Structure formats: structure tokens, C-alpha cells
Structure 1
Amino acid sequence: MESAWPALALSLKVACWATAITGLLGVGLGYALARGRFVGRDLLDTLLTLPMVLPPTVVGYYLLVLLGRKGVVGQWLADTWGVNLIFTWQGAVVAASVVALPLIVKPARAAFEAVDAQLEDAARVLGLPAMAVFFRVTLPLAWRGILAGILLGFARSLGEFGATLMVAGSIPGRTQTLSVAVYEAVQAGDDGLANTLVLVISAVCVAVLLLANRLAPGHQVHRRGQA
């Protein structure tokens, strides 16, 4: 069990950072897709959905090409800031963020679309600026669906494997997340460690998913119907 703690700690660290990043991006993109009417909206929605359907290793390869020293972003980061994301825990955060983003954008968009636009119009008629309408009317009405999506994104970030392995590798204590540690334990024939790691990550993900299900708007409607 002692050997599982570093991987678990790193996985939680990566998942928390990825969730913070994708939470902000996902809510903004979800609102833009729900309320915006702009050219390329369907294309943007399609691109944001791609990480859900592409194999994780393909997503990881795209990130490797983009963030590598010869990539457009990677070369700029290295030349301008001296930053290298490949084979670092920060690279694992980027990989987890890209894979988890659609799981936050989709619920956020659905939650915003479920908000009655007439309530927002009424707030504007009363003189509230656009920012105040969002934070005082739209967001309070959509927060349950948004939070459920954020929890799903956290669970996905915690269990990310393919893209993380491609971008961050498997350096024990530095980039070896829990899911990567499971793979390494199986490859090494250490069934005891693999079983322990699987139980830990399964327990955490089950707890997160149970909480996400309880926060989902449909769950509340179903409970009121039973009452």
C-alpha cells in the first residue's frame, strides 16, 4: 500500500489542477454554445467532442506533436519561457484537461439551455448588466448540472491513462499517475500492487460518480416524483 500513495497523491494533484482549468473553460464554452449564435459553433462543438471519441493514445499523439520541442506550442514555450511540458506532471495536467473537457462542456451546455431565457430577459429589463444576469440568474439556476459535469471531469482526469502516458510518460514519483502505475504493476507481474491500486482508484471514482448522480437535475426531479 505504501507504494500506492505517491501515485495516488500525484493523480489527485493532476486531477485537481485539470478540473480547475477545465471547470473554468468548460463553463465558459458551455455558455457560449448554449446562448451564442456565431459562425462555426457546430464546428467548435465537434472539435470539443473529439476527445470523447478519439482513442486516448491518438489524443496523446496530437498533444505530443503540438507540445514537443519541435511543435508550434512546445517550441514557443521553450524559446520564450524555457518551459518543457513533455515528461512532466504539468504535461499530465494538460493531457487530463483535454480529455476531461468534453465531459464538463456537455453538461454545462445542457444546464444553461435548461434555464428559462425569459428569466434572463426579465433581469435585463430590470436593469441588470449582462455579467450580473449571468452570476445572479443563470449560474444559480444551472449550478447543479455544472457541478455534476465538473465531478465527472474530475473522475475522468483521475483515471486518464492513454494521453497521459504519451505526454508525461511513467517516471515513478514524478509523472507516474495511479492508472499508469496499474499498467506498470501488471506489466511487472505484481498482482498484489495492481489489485491495491485498482481498488483505490475504483473506490474514489465510485464515490465521485455517486455524488455526481445525486447532483444531476434529473435525479432531483425523480425524487420529487416519488415523494
Structure 2
Amino acid sequence: MRKTIIFLALFLAACNLPTSSQSPQTLPTAFIDPSYPTMEAVPVAPVQVSNGVEVRVDHAWRDGKEVSADVCYTLLDSSDWSIWGASLQYPGGSVVDYGSALTSLQEPVEGQAGVRCDTLTFLNIPPDADLTNVTIVIDAIAAVPREGDYCSIYMPKIQQALNERGIAIQLGCVDSAGVQVMQILSKPDTMSQEEAEQIVYSDEFYTVRGPWSFVFNLGQ
């Protein structure tokens, strides 16, 4: 009987033990450095022309660690043209880390050039960067050939350049699984196949180099 009473006492004591309540954890909130300003500006000269391509930048803006600009440029043909190299230059530094996103596209028609517009965004701008005299430089635009483009667009231009330079390489197109593929039909005996391909498939044939430069005052 005594053992039963002791057991009941221990059982009741265990039931009355205080329970610990767990308070929900508070997640850290993102810290926004007030030293990162937001500012918009227009360029000193909004239009630049180089190698037959007109590039226009109407405005740029700084938002936190990023500087963005709306860039429009004329298209030489119906190829898939895009910005091939760009940089943001300011006193004491430069940024080459960027991304671009298509905003509008007007395909070229007979007698009229097309226009493509992208939003160009430079990333990870230092908070102490002096952007009172900042230059956005578009180094080049390019249209990396798609399947079939070499025969339909590029081969005549490449062959003409080879002929003008006195390089005895002859090109032609052959059918491969229903797709016209450009091939090297003949080359000098002293030239290896690799050397010939490096000449023929050089990015110079689908790249237009600038530079196109735009100066802004986006503050300190």
C-alpha cells in the first residue's frame, strides 16, 4: 500500500512539471545601406554611330548596387543581334559585370533597318564609387550564327573577305539532314584544316565593334 501511495505521488508531481514554451525565432531582416542612392540622369550625347550601327541611350539610373540604362541599336539584318561587350567606367574604377534583357524588337524590313532595345544593368557597384562623371561603354554587338545562318547570311560576306585578302579558301554549302551547312571546299596545301576554320569561323564576320560611349552624372 505504501509503495502505491509513493508511486501516485511521483506520478502527480510529474504531471505538474512546468512546460517550457518555445518562442518563434525571428528571422534577420535585410539591411539596406542608406549610402546607396537612387538617381536618374540623361547622357551628354544620347546617340553615337560607329561602323554603320546607331546606338541610343536616352537615360540611365542608379538603384542601390546597380546602374541600368535603356540601350537601343539598329540591326543590320534579321540575325539575333545582342550586346557583346560593355563596361561602366568611373574615376578610379570600372565594372564589367553586367546583364541585359530584351525590352523591344523591331525586325528589319526591306529598305529599313530594324531596332532592338535592351535594358543593360551593371552589378555590384561599390557604395563609394564616384558616379558624377560615369561612362557607359558598349564595346560591340554581335549575332552568333544560328543553325543555317552561315549559308543564308554569312557565307557570301566571308567569301568576299577571303577573296579581297588573297586567301585561297573556297566555301560552299552542302545538305546535312535537311539543313544547309557551310563547308570548306578547298584551301592551300600549306594551310591546315584547323587554321582554315579559325579564319572562316572568326567572330569578326558576325561582330560589329564600336565603341559607343555615353557620359552621365549619377551622383556620388
Question: Normalising TM by the smaller chain, what interval?
Answer: under 0.3
- Structure with greater Cα Rg: 2
TM-score, length basis structure 2: 0.23
Which protein has greater RCO, CA pairs closer than 8 Å, 6+ apart?
1
TM-score, length basis structure 1: 0.22
